[in-house]
Chain A
Amino acid sequence: MGADTQTAGLALRFRATGIAARRANCALGSWLSEAGLPDDRSEDIRIAVAEAVNNIVEHAYLGLAPGWIRLTGRKTARRVEICISDSGTPLPVGPETEGHPVDPHALKRTLPEGGFGWILIRKLTNRVHYRRGAGRNLLTLHFDLSTASQGL
């Protein structure tokens, strides 16, 4: 690491396990702070990417031996772009994965314990692009640096 330009890219390859995903998320955090992002925007990106990677670990490789996840990051003056690819089964992506906000009037005992991942991804990214091809999932998350996300 320690590239001589502030826009040096990030390239990670790791096993689709919870522990490896955690390490990758920490590496992403270091890259974002080296790239000079303010803490709150860096948090947004780390949260959204963590959720995207969790989806791969928990869904794309469900029932399969943990495969590989490749994560690349690119920063320009205007945005950060994170590409995540894997060779698991197609990711559940689309309107049905929008996630359901919690109903504050629901009884506490009936609250869902999951399904929050896509809510966070949608709220923290400016654009999400998903493509399936050649047996791989390719998910790209775009974060504009000029505009605040809903998380700020």
Chain B
Amino acid sequence: MSLTSTVQGDAQIITVEAERIDAAMAIQFKEDMRTETASGPKRVILDLTRVDFIDSSGLGAIVAAMKQLDPGRRLDLAGPRPMVAKVFRLTRMDTVFDLYASLDEALAAGSA
């Protein structure tokens, strides 16, 4: 399992416990996300703090993870490193997801 999950307040925090979300693990990631988000709070925050490399397959897997959420639930992203943020920016995925600089920031935005 590449992920760990906790619930804090009204958000589910899913932490990626891998340094890479790449083609070699994209399918596993998508399946793990499906398992973790089978039920839970309306808001899901994906903590990317540990991830130092993502490719287009990994990006596709995060999009897939968002699309497989039940209607009414949302996926926000927290703690992307500069490299990860760059990939989101270049593909304009930063316009699709809410990206927060840190998990704390993401949580603060939710309780505001």
Contact = CB atoms under 8 A, between A and B. Distances in A.
A104 B96 contact: yes
Interface stretch (B7-15, B33-41, B63-71, B104-112): B63-71
A111 B63 contact: yes
A22 B93 CA distance: 23
B22 interface: yes
A8 to B, nearest CB: 24
Interface stretch (A46-54, A86-94, A126-134): A46-54
A97 to B, nearest CB: 12
Main DSSP-derived SS at the B contact region: helix
Nearest to A46: B53
A101 B92 contact: yes
Contacts of B91: 101-102, 116, 119-120
Size bracket of the B interface:
20 to 34
Nearest to B30: A113
A116 B67 contact: no
B87 to A, nearest CB: 6
Interface of B: 20, 22-25, 53, 55-57, 59-61, 63-64, 66-67, 82-83, 86-87, 89-93, 95-96
Q: 9 smallest A-B Cβ distances: which pairs?
A: A18-B24, A104-B95, A116-B56, A113-B60, A117-B56, A102-B92, A43-B83, A50-B55, A116-B91
